Amino acid sequence: MDGERTAGAPEMRASLERGRVGIIDVGSNSIRLVVYERASRAPLPVFNEKVLCGLARGLDATGRLNPEGVEMALANIDRFTTLAHNMKVTSLDLLATAAVRDAADGADFMRQITSRPGIVAHTVSGQDEARFSGYGVICGMPDADGVMGDLGGGSLELAAIGNGQLGPSSTLPVGPLRLMSSGRGDPKKIVVEAVENVRWLREHQGKTFYAVGGAWRSFARLHMEQAGYPLHIIHQYEISAEETRAVARLIAVQSPKSLEKMPGVSRRRVDTLPLACLALDRLLGVLKPRSVVFSAFGLREGFYYSRLSAAERARHPLIAFAEEQGAGWRRFDLTPQEIFDWLTPAFAGESEVDRVLRTAACHLSDISWDDHPDYRADQAYFRVLHLPAPGMNHRERAVLAMAMTYRYKSDPKSAMIDTALRLSDGRGRAYAKRLGACLRLAYNLSGGAPGLLPQLQLRRTERELRLLVPQALRRSLGDVTARRLETAAEAFELKPMIVAA
C-alpha cells in the first residue's frame, strides 16, 4: 500500500478494562504472549514468552501456511490462553499479521482460533500493522521524528512519524523468513527493488530511522557486543547511520557459520540476519538519516496505545511509569508534587527534558528507603539505570540514575557509577549532582513526611543557594541540614546561606 496515509485511519476504540491485559502476537516466524500489568501510557510487561513456529516458511512457494507451524501454533495458543486465564487478564487479544493475512488458508486458521473461548482475534491488515508499529514507537518515544521500519519474518512495515502523528505508510512482502523459502529468485534483489519503489521515503530524508523487530534488535545486540557498550538495553539504543551501514554491509555478506562465531548473535537469527541487514542498508541508503534508534516498542504496544483515551496518550511515558511504579516505593505521604514544587525555584530555566527527568526523580526519590543504609545509593543507581521504563534515551537514563545515587550519597566513587558517567556528558552530570543533592536536602528537612517543606523555601541567586527558614523553625535545623545545603550549593557552584524568613 505504497503511500497510503494512515493518520486518519479508523482506530480500535473498544474500551479497555482495568486490570491485566494480554496480547498473543502471531507473527510469520514466532508466536508470543505478552501480559501487561495494565493498558497504560507506559505498558509494563509482567509476562513475556515466545515460541518459534515458522508459519511463513514456504508461504510464497505454496501459498499456504507451514502445516507443522500451524499445528505448533494452535497448541501454543491453547497453552497461552490457559496461562492468561490463570493470570486473571481482563482482556486477551490475538493479532495475526503478514503470514496469516496473505495465506490462502489464513482464514481457516483464524476460524480455528475464534472457536476458542476467551480470545478476541484480529487479522491485522498491512496498513494497520504499519500503523500499530508506528504508534508503538510513539508510545515509547513521544518525540520521535522520522521513519519507522518494522521488519518481521514475513513483511516490512514502514511509516513516517512526527509530532505524535503518523504520515504515509507502506507494507512490503520482504520478510527474511518468507523470502528464503519462496523460490521466487534472488531474495537480495527482491529486497532492494521493494525498498527502492517506496517513493515517499525520499520526502523524509535526513531525520532519524527507528528500527523495530526481532532481527534488527539482534543487530543492535551484536553491535553492543562488538562496541563494548556498557548498557545492554535495546530500547533507544542509538548508532550513527554511517556506522550502522558499515556494520550492516559486513553482516549481509556473512555465512551462517561465520555469524555463529560472532558474540551477541542468536543462533536462531543466523539464517535471516544477513537479509535483515541488507534491508537495513538499503533503507538507510534511501533515507540518509542522521542516526538509527532501536525501539523495543512495536506492534503490541501500538495496538494498546491506539485504544487509549486522548488524556492518557497526552501523558509523558516516563512520568507515567514513574507515577505508577513510584507509588509503591514511598514510605510516607510526602507527595512527589510537594517535592517538585519545593525544588522548582532552584531549577528555574531548566530545559523541558530536564523538567521531565526532575518530575520522574521526584516520583522515584524514595526508591531505596527499605534497603540496607550502606547500599541504598548502589541499589537506587542500579534500579533506575535498568528500569523497564520508556520515554528516555540512554543519556537521560544515566542522568536519572546518577541523580538517584546523589540523593542517597553525596560522594559516590566513580567506579560505582562508571556506566552512567560513560553514557552522559558534562552538563548531564552536573544536573544529576544538583538534583540529587537537593533531593537529599529535601528528605533531611521533611523526614519524608508531608507538611514541612511548604514552610521552607529554597532559592537560588547569582551567588548563593539560600534556605529561607521561619524563625520558629530556625532552632530545629541541625548540623546535617547545614552540610547537605553546603553540598547542594557546591553542586551549583554557589555559596550556601540559611536565611531567617
Domains of the chain, with CATH numbers? 4-123 (3.30.420.40), 128-301 (3.30.420.150), 316-500 (1.10.3210.10)
pLDDT at 17: 53
Q: Which CA distances in Å does 94 have to 78, 80, 112?
A: 12, 11, 13
175-197 tens-digit pLDDT: 888 777 655 668 889 999 999 99
For the segment 258-280, the average pLDDT, to the nearest whole number, is: 85
pLDDT at 188: 86
**Owner of C-alpha cell 504499519:** 130
Strand-strand pairing, 291-294 and 208-212:
parallel
Which CB contacts under 8 angstroms, 24+ apart, belong to 327-331? 327/363, 329/364, 329/366, 329/367, 329/369, 330/366, 330/448, 331/366, 331/369, 331/370, 331/448
pLDDT band at residue 16 using 50, 70 and 90 as cut-offs: low
For the segment 138-162, the average pLDDT, to the nearest whole number, is: 96
pLDDT band at residue 2 using 50, 70 and 90 as cut-offs: very low
Q: For residue 273, give the amino acid letter.
A: L
pLDDT at 29: 87
Name the least confident of 159-173, 261-275, 376-390: 261-275
Task: Indicate whether 327 pLDDT > 60.
Answer: yes
CA angle 70, 76, 81 (to 5 degrees): 125
For the segment 314-327, the average pLDDT, to the nearest whole number, is: 95
C-alpha span between 295 and 217 (Å, rounded): 8
Q: For residue 24, give the amino acid letter.
A: I
pLDDT at 221: 94
CB-neighbour burial class of residue 461 (10 A; exposed 0-12, middle 13-18, buried 19+) = exposed
Torsion of CA 461, 465, 471, 476, to 10 degrees: 170
Task: Indicate whether 125 pLDDT > 80.
Answer: yes
Average pLDDT, the chain: 92
pLDDT at 475: 78
Would you give the distance in Å from CA 182 to the centre of its chain? 34
Q: Which H or E run includes 318?
A: helix 317-326
pLDDT band at residue 12 using 50, 70 and 90 as cut-offs: very low
For the segment 47-57, the average pLDDT, to the nearest whole number, is: 92
The SS3 call for residue 413 is coil
Cell of 197: 519503489
For the segment 79-95, the average pLDDT, to the nearest whole number, is: 96
For the segment 67-88, the average pLDDT, to the nearest whole number, is: 96
Sheet strands side by side (includes 156-162): 4-5, 165-172, 156-162, 146-151, 208-212, 291-294, 237-240
The SS3 call for residue 281 is helix
C-alpha span between 162 and 144 (Å, rounded): 6
Task: Indicate whether 7 pLDDT > 50.
Answer: no
Is the separation of the CB atoms in 189 and 63 below 8 Å? Answer: no
Q: Quick count: other Cβ atoms within 10 Å of Cβ 405?
A: 27
Of 431 and 479, more confident: 431
pLDDT band at residue 256 using 50, 70 and 90 as cut-offs: confident
Q: For residue 37, give the amino acid letter.
A: E
439-479 tens-digit pLDDT: 999 999 999 899 999 999 999 999 999 999 998 888 778 88
Q: For residue 12, give the amino acid letter.
A: M
For the segment 289-314, the average pLDDT, to the nearest whole number, is: 95
Q: pTM higher than 0.95, yes or no?
A: no
Task: Indicate whether 112 pLDDT > 90.
Answer: yes
Helices (H), 170-316: 176-180, 187-196, 214-227, 241-252, 256-260, 273-287, 299-305, 310-314
What are 436's strand-pairing partners? Answer: none
HSE-CB of 36 using CA atoms within 13 angstroms: 25
Task: Indicate whether 141 pLDDT > 50.
Answer: yes
Q: Which H or E run includes 81?
A: helix 67-86
pLDDT at 4: 33
pLDDT at 260: 85
For the segment 244-268, the average pLDDT, to the nearest whole number, is: 87
Is the separation of the CB atoms in 238 and 293 below 8 Å? Answer: yes
pLDDT at 261: 83
Cell of 78: 491453547
pLDDT at 270: 85
CA angle 453, 454, 460 (to 5 degrees): 80
CB-neighbour burial class of residue 48 (10 A; exposed 0-12, middle 13-18, buried 19+) = exposed
Is the separation of the CB atoms in 417 and 405 below 8 Å? Answer: yes
pLDDT band at residue 265 using 50, 70 and 90 as cut-offs: confident
Task: Indicate whether 18 pLDDT > 80.
Answer: no
Task: Indicate whether 11 pLDDT > 60.
Answer: no
54 — alpha (psi -120 to 50), left (phi > 0) or beta? left
**Owner of C-alpha cell 560472532:** 262
The SS3 call for residue 5 is strand
196-220 tens-digit pLDDT: 999 999 999 999 999 999 999 999 9
